[in-house]
């Protein structure tokens, strides 16, 4: 048997690099991925939002036959401009597809697409459903059970990396499914991300890991806002605070990314406050299911809820800092009062 190349098994190696290594070393695993990818070509894609649209485009550019659907005609037009096919309904997108990929808002939307719209029945009998939305673990497991009852496979595969990662095809994908299903669907995942992890055999395990990720992200944003609010109360220039903390042991990716926007009154929206209201709610639900206390996640969600309640739900999530400023009596400059 040919030797297995290290690049093929590396989660961080690009798909192109792995395939190039495979051609040199005769790597059986990557060669099998290529063969499977050529057979499994038709993908229905539902949810052409800020992340879904570039993801569907990346699949089309990698040679998959993609038919995408979104309720917004402008999103379908944008996908068509990238060279992919479009559909007028979710059912039409799924018709006779090998794979149905859902990049929708939540588990309720995924269930509506699959069952209420009839998309699941339109798939090939041996098709695979991939749900990449952030879902509660229990909801992901229930979706898997109901999909598998029809004879089709299910992959619980939430993602991390945001819009930038989606556009670059460099998402982190946390996939949970039986190993055979994961291996069969791997070519699709390779077209979307550079860090592909098989986190478990059971649907819901991917959703749990995404909840862990969002717990840390939400708490990091909230605690950064808390730190800025304390410094502002003491009259310290926020730009100085950011420069010092970004290069210290207190730094985090979220501080470096959100910190500059916390100093702006109306920053562009990268991820909305209401996203973390939702995601931290999923985190707390996962904690209840596992009987795990999550006091910091709970406190962070309260601050995001306060921001949403003040009318800032659609603003950039960095603007949770406004709730701290209101709580602490800090003045805001410009229009961001």
Question: Exactly one of 124, 167, 195, 210 is catalytic; which is it?
Answer: 210
H-helix or E-strand containing 85? strand 85-86
* CA–CA distance, 123 with 119 (Å, rounded to integer): 7
* CA–CA distance, 227 with 232 (Å, rounded to integer): 9
Number of H helices, E strands in the chain: 17, 9
* CA–CA distance, 297 with 287 (Å, rounded to integer): 10
Contact criterion met (CB below 8 Å) for 148 and 127:
no
Long-range contacts of 180-184 (CB under 8 A, 24+ apart): 181/128, 181/153, 181/154, 181/155, 182/155, 183/32, 183/36, 184/36, 184/40, 184/128, 184/153
Q: What is the separation of C-alpha 65 from the centre of its chain, rounded to a whole number of angstroms? A: 22
Q: Provide the pairing of β-strand 193-200 with 171-176.
A: parallel
Specify the length of the chain in residues. Answer: 337
* CA–CA distance, 219 with 196 (Å, rounded to integer): 25
Q: Residue 35 CB: number of other CB atoms within 10 A?
A: 11
Largest Cα–Cα separation, the chain: 69
* CA–CA distance, 189 with 183 (Å, rounded to integer): 10
210 catalytic per annotation? yes
* CA–CA distance, 251 with 242 (Å, rounded to integer): 9
Measured N-to-C along each axis, helices 137-148 and 205-233 cross at an angle, to the nearest 10 degrees, of 160
CB neighbour burial string for 298-337, b if at least 16 within 10 angstroms, e if fewer: eebbebbbbbbeeebbebbbbbbbbbbbeeeebeeeeebe
Q: Which residues are catalytic?
A: 210
């Amino acid at each position: 048997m040919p030797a297995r190349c290290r690049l093929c098994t590396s989660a961080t190696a690009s798909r192109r690099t792995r395939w190039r290594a495979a051609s040199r070393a005769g790597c059986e695993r990557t060669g099998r991925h290529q063969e499977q990818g050529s057979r499994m070509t038709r993908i229905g894609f539902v949810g052409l939002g800020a992340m879904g649209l570039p993801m569907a485009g990346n699949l089309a550019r990698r040679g998959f036959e993609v038919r995408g659907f979104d309720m917004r005609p402008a999103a379908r037009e944008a996908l068509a401009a990238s060279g992919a096919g479009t559909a007028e309904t979710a059912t039409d997108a799924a018709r006779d597809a090998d794979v149905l990929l859902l990049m929708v808002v939540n588990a309720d939307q995924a269930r509506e697409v699959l069952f209420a719209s009839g998309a699941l029945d339109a798939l090939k009998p041996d098709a695979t459903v991939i749900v990449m939305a952030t879902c509660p673990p229990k909801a992901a497991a229930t979706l898997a059970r109901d999909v598998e009852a029809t004879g089709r496979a299910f992959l619980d595969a939430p993602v991390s990396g945001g819009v930038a990662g989606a556009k670059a095809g460099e998402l982190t994908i946390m996939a949970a499914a039986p190993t055979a299903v994961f291996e069969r669907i791997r070519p699709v995942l390779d077209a979307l991300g550079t860090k592909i992890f098989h986190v478990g055999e059971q649907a819901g395990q991917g959703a749990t890991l995404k909840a862990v990720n969002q717990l840390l992200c939400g708490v990091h944003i909230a605690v950064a806002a808390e730190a800025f609010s304390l410094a502002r109360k003491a009259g310290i220039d926020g730009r100085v605070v950011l420069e010092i903390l970004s290069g210290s042991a207190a730094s985090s990716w979220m501080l470096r990314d959100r910190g500059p926007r916390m100093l702006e009154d109306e920053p562009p929206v990268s991820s909305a406050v209401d996203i973390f209201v939702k995601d931290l709610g999923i985190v707390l639900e996962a904690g209840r299911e596992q009987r795990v206390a999550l006091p910091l996640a709970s406190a962070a969600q309260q601050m995001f809820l306060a921001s949403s309640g003040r009318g800032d739900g659609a603003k950039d999530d960095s603007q949770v800092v406004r709730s701290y400023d209101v709580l602490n009596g800090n003045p805001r400059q410009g229009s961001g009062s």
